[in-house]
A and B are shown apart, each in its own frame.
Chain A
Amino acid sequence: MLRRALAAEPWRLVLLVLGAVWALLTVPSVLGGMTWVSLQSPDVAHDVLVVGGTLLLLGWAVVPVLVPGLDDSLDVRRFATTGIAPARLVPGLLLASLLGVPTAFTAMLTLAPVVAWGAPGRGAAQLAAVAMAPVLLVTCVATARVSTGLLARLLGARRSREVALGAALTAVVGLVVVVRQARRLGLEGVLEGVPEVAAVLGWTPLAAGWSAPALLAAGDVAGAVGQMLVAVAGAAGALTAWAVLLRWTLVRPPSRAERARRRRDSLLAARPGTVPGGSRTTAPRPGLVAARAVALRGLRSWTADPRYTSALVAAVALPVVVVLLAATVVDAPAAVVLSMALLMAGTIAWGRHNDTAFDGSAHWLHVVARVPGWADRAGRAGATLVWALPLVVGVGVLGALVSGRPELAPASVGAAVYVLGAGLAVSAVSSATLVYPVPAPGASPYATQVGALGASLVAQLVTSLATAALCLPVTALYAVVLWWEPGLAWAVLVAGLLGGAGLVAAGVAVGGQVYDTRAVRLLARLE
């Protein structure tokens, strides 16, 4: 199947080669790091490996969820009709997912502790590390499958809106708590806490396999055996969860969720007191009526379509994760927190760059009715702005407050609104020009579209470059405010609001022109 995918996609091969080269390039640094670890005492080595290993596993659980389409392995539902028993499917799928750059890279990482325990007199620990490597690898791969599978199920169900909201809330609360803690303790305080945390993690399936060799090196044979058992049990548990999920998916496809019931017509609410059947059949401003309808329908997509809901979760959660990770590394937590609203605005707005394709099933209605291009574009932008604008404003203010720089709140908000506007402007034009295939409505948001990689890469590259270029003036001003001239904060707010609004208007106008000339051709491409 890998070979077939490669034959259909020369681009995938390029990516594969690039990924392999990158992975190979990191080998020396990993080996260097491990050699350094091997010179440390077992305690320090233990902490470093356990924390690193936990992060690796969390990465496997989170990254495939946040970046749909990255998981290039096999979509389980393709096997739903073949009638193969899940018990026989799991080993085959596991084997198939082991053939890939991320897996090969992770295999190398799981073997790295062998080097770390390479100092003389630690032969037993080295042996344990060799034994643990495949267990760790299997845990990582199975965890990734479980997390995407579980989320696809959740999002396919009726509760998708609640799930998305819950995830977003948890992310924000988690951020606040972590930053508060970090500020209270300071960097040294945080580092002091690591051994305790690592000791606990070592007894969880998250990192038991990383911890066991260390205990062995320290002479704690019983503890090491116990942790190895925990690690094996963790891998077995992940595999079992995957198998259960597979059986579930095969028997009850997630796309058949319970029926949603809606009593009211949310597009056209009844207006009591008016007499139906007036003399006019056309409203005074038909374009505005159409734009409003497009926006209202777009809002429905955000709550009722798993592909949109997963994009929403990713667009909100990805910046939070990035900022949290960066905050632990970079020594400027305030700047990092303050940039979160910007990042969120960017991911949300840029995520709409292929909206016409995601929304393809409604497109023919627009073509048949010859909806003016500007109305179509404005409606789409509106459906995102309605919820994204309050969100980025809120996050901008919150970020400034949490980082203890309330005077920077106007700048943070202004820059975020500007980035949102710039991204939506680029999306308004690109979703009428650079269209590429996406999963059909009701399909798993994590399904990869075969044959689309080349077009999607080009579109994603062009749109992200264009967005970045448009964002440059105000983000540069924001950086100036952040580091040198806090007095300009209100200027950023004004520039951001005016610039953002202007860009959205320009994007709607230009995108509308492009749409008017290309709408019919787009319909043929979306087929």
Chain B
Amino acid sequence: MIALRLRGLVKRFGATTAVAGIDLDIPAGSFYGVVGPNGAGKTTTLSMATGLLLPDAGTVHVHDVDVWRRPRDAAPLLGVLPDGLRLFDRLTGPELISYSGLLRGMDRDVLAARRDDLVTALDLAGAGSTLVKDYSAGMTKKVALACALVHAPRVLVLDEPFEAVDPVSATAIRGILRGFVAAGGTVVLSSHVMALVEQVCDHVAVVGGGRVLAAGSLEEVRAGQDLESRFVALLGGTREQTDLAWLRPSSG
């Protein structure tokens, strides 16, 4: 079964084409990594896949629900952690989790219990009485992740979820996500840290220049190499390194 199906997605910003026709099938129950260099179109693709950015062309289906035709039906299925969008920061972490649950019209008692679970699981209790504006970048990321989880979606789409998160929290988050996949959920995450993707994901798509260069199970894409070498090869190999001869402490 396909959890997230992208067909012919295109997005242009003025003269530049950020995403030039992306087709992708993300199987249900997979832990899917989207990797690519800076500016490859990862964030743009994931934004269009989650209903945050209107595509110029193409369709997105979440468990066979059209995200752009039936947004109200698709929204409960999706949990979204965007990258580069500011979080409303005048609430405390627990309040923000409650807020995103209330926006989805959740029952108060269920929501209160889940909020407390998430605060414990993501180790947010220490900063429970501080406004999000005083949080560190890693803490903010964890709160945003909790906001994406609180309504128990079927598909989680996370843009750079481990950026700025400390190793202890990253381990906790990985544990939560693995448990979610084991219970039948689907996780899609983007990253440019190959080692991390290799460690946690079972499926990978390599994106470059707004297109899918390779996609499939981790073994298929790696083709016997490690992911990093394969990735560099897919993107056209190592460029001749320019010698920065002046970059020596003694050259003044």
Contacts and interface: CB of A to CB of B under 8 A. Distances in A.
Interface of A: 259-263, 265-268, 270-271, 274-278, 280-283, 285-287, 289-290, 292-294, 297, 300-301, 304-305, 359-362, 364-371, 440-442, 520-521, 523-524, 527
A297 B52 contact: no
B130 A261 contact: yes
Interface of B: 50-54, 71-72, 74-75, 78, 80, 82, 85-92, 94-95, 98-113, 115, 129-131, 133-134, 147, 151-152
B3 to A, nearest CB: 17
A486 to B, nearest CB: 46
B131 A524 contact: no
Contacts of A283: 105-108
A259 B131 contact: yes
User: What 8 A-B pairs have minimum CB-CB distances, sorted nearest first?
Assistant: A286-B105, A293-B102, A276-B113, A362-B88, A268-B98, A370-B75, A369-B103, A361-B86
Contacts, number: 147
Contacts of A362: 88
A267 B152 CA distance: 20
B99 A441 contact: no
27 contacts: A259-B130, A259-B134, A268-B101, A268-B102, A276-B110, A277-B110, A277-B113, A278-B109, A281-B152, A282-B106, A287-B105, A290-B104, A293-B103, A300-B90, A304-B131, A362-B88, A364-B82, A365-B147, A366-B103, A368-B50, A368-B51, A368-B80, A370-B72, A441-B89, A441-B90, A523-B52, A524-B53
Given A262-B129, A361-B85, 15 more contacts: A259-B134, A262-B131, A268-B101, A271-B108, A275-B109, A276-B112, A277-B113, A281-B151, A282-B105, A286-B104, A293-B98, A300-B90, A304-B90, A359-B88, A523-B52
User: Which of B50, B87, B107, B152 has the largest count of A CB atoms less than 10 A from its CB?
Assistant: B107
Contact of A262 (B54, B92, B100): B92
Contacts of A442: 89, 133
Contacts of A364: 52, 82, 85
Contacts of A361: 85-89
A404 B19 CA distance: 69
A278 B102 contact: no
B229 to A, nearest CB: 36
Given A297-B99, A520-B53, A290 B129 contact: no
Contacts of A261: 129-130
A521 B55 CA distance: 11
Contacts of A274: 109
Nearest to B74: A370
A86 to B, nearest CB: 27
B98 A265 contact: yes
Contacts of A281: 106-107, 110, 151-152
Nearest to A266: B95
Contacts of A292: 102
Nearest to B152: A281
B108 A268 contact: yes
